[in-house]
């Protein structure tokens, strides 16, 4: 199986670098047939390749050498100016120059956003690209955006996040008519900050979007809304709080069941399958990456602690995004609501 998509993967990104990125990317290439460009220090990539089984080496891939590696503590502005041959910059230039269709990185998220904006470039009319993340729930997954790219937002930014998020949820999550809500402090119209209230007014009259109004924090996990919109400050706190809470509750439950006598241990043994299913639901590796929406090309940002499976799923998501033509749907949503966006922008 082979397709025409070319995916640039930042092999040096993340906590574990090539040791997990290279096998994860090649396993994805084996499944979807896309060509994989492994971007990074050639010797480090080759060292990992030498340890892999022969079947992975038959995948359509090549190495694109990049001599510099981004440190997680560096400022995005410094990375843009001083590390022009870093793996993330080289990968983004491949997309900019039409030599790749998407970039996937588990590296410095700030650098991924900055390089996406200033190298790949923004869609015309989009001031703020946003990071979206897929949140597991007790029923179906939810898409939350922005989760960290934009600390402060204006109403038309939130409006555009909703338009882009709706397109993504329709194609990637498979929701026929995704419901969209704004994260606020109450469900009633008129609740929230001035920015939230003005964005609400825009979405009420938007075209081609299923807007359901305000949603509260609990609705991320127990509500019926598919796409939840907020600024990056609120979204990032919600994301990190959710990750920490899920892991903490899971650990507490395991300790209670395994540390209090024979009967709880028997119960834990009998519930082993349920525990595995729960662990799978809350594992970020299941979805792999957060799309950076609003760029002229596609970009996917992985968790820094991504393992090989997370990288594999991220690359597969990037390939699906291209196969479904999600970028074109996203552009259509923005175009159809261009007049509303211009009106909101001029009113600021």
Map 113-169 to HEC letters: HHHHHHHHCECCCCCCCEEEEEECCCCCCEEEECCCCCCCCCHHHHHHHHHHHHHHH
Domain residue spans of the chain: 1-125+294-325, 127-293
Given the candidates 3.40.718.10, 3.30.565.10, 3.20.20.80, 3.20.20.140, the CATH classification of the domain at 1-125+294-325 is 3.40.718.10
Q: Where are the alpha helices (DSSP H) in 185-231?
A: 194-204, 219-222
State the CATH class of domain 127-293.
alpha beta
Q: Do domains 1-125+294-325 and 127-293 have the same CATH topology?
A: yes
pLDDT tens track, the chain, 348 positions: 567 899 999 999 989 999 999 999 999 999 999 999 999 999 999 999 999 998 888 899 999 999 999 988 889 888 989 999 999 999 999 999 999 999 999 998 899 999 999 999 999 989 899 999 988 777 788 899 999 899 999 999 999 999 999 999 999 989 989 999 999 999 888 899 999 999 999 999 998 899 999 999 888 888 789 999 999 999 999 888 887 877 777 677 777 666 666 666 665 555 566 556 655 555 555 667 889 999 999 999 998 888 999 999 999 999 999 999 999 999 999 998 888 888 678 765
């Amino acid at each position: 199986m082979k397709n025409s998509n070319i995916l640039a993967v930042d092999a040096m990104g993340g906590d574990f670098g090539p040791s997990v990125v290279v096998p994860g990317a090649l396993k994805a290439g084996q499944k979807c047939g896309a060509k994989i460009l492994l971007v990074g220090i050639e010797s480090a990539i080759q060292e990992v390749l030498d340890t892999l089984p022969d079947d992975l080496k038959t995948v359509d891939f090549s190495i694109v050498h990049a001599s510099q590696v981004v440190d997680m503590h560096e400022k995005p502005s410094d990375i843009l100016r001083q590390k022009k041959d870093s793996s993330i910059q080289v990968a983004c230039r491949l997309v900019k120059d039409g030599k790749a269709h998407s970039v996937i990185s588990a590296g410095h998220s700030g650098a991924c956003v900055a390089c996406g904006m200033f190298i790949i470039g923004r869609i015309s009319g989009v001031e703020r690209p946003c990071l979206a993340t897929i949140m597991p729930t007790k029923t179906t997954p939810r898409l939350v955006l922005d989760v960290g790219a934009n600390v402060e937002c204006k109403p038309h930014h939130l409006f555009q996040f909703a338009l882009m998020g709706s397109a993504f949820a329709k194609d990637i999550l498979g929701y026929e008519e995704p419901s969209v809500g704004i994260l606020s402090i109450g469900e009633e119209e008129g609740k929230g900050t001035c920015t939230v209230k003005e964005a609400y007014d825009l979405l009420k009259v938007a075209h081609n979007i299923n807007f359901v109004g305000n949603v509260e924090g609990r609705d991320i996990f127990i509500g019926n809304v598919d796409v939840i919109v907020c600024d990056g400050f609120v979204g990032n706190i919600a994301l990190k709080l959710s990750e920490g809470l899920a892991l903490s509750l899971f650990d507490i439950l395991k300790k209670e069941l395994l540390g209090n006598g024979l009967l709880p241990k028997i119960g834990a043994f009998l519930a082993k399958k349920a525990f595995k299913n729960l662990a799978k639901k809350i594992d970020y590796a299941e979805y792999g990456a957060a799309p950076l929406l609003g760029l002229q090309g596609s970009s996917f940002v992985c968790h820094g602690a991504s393992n090989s499976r997370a990288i594999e799923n991220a690359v597969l998501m990037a390939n699906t995004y291209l196969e479904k033509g999600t970028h074109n749907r996203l552009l259509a949503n923005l175009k159809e609501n261009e007049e509303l966006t211009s009106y909101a922008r001029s009113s600021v």
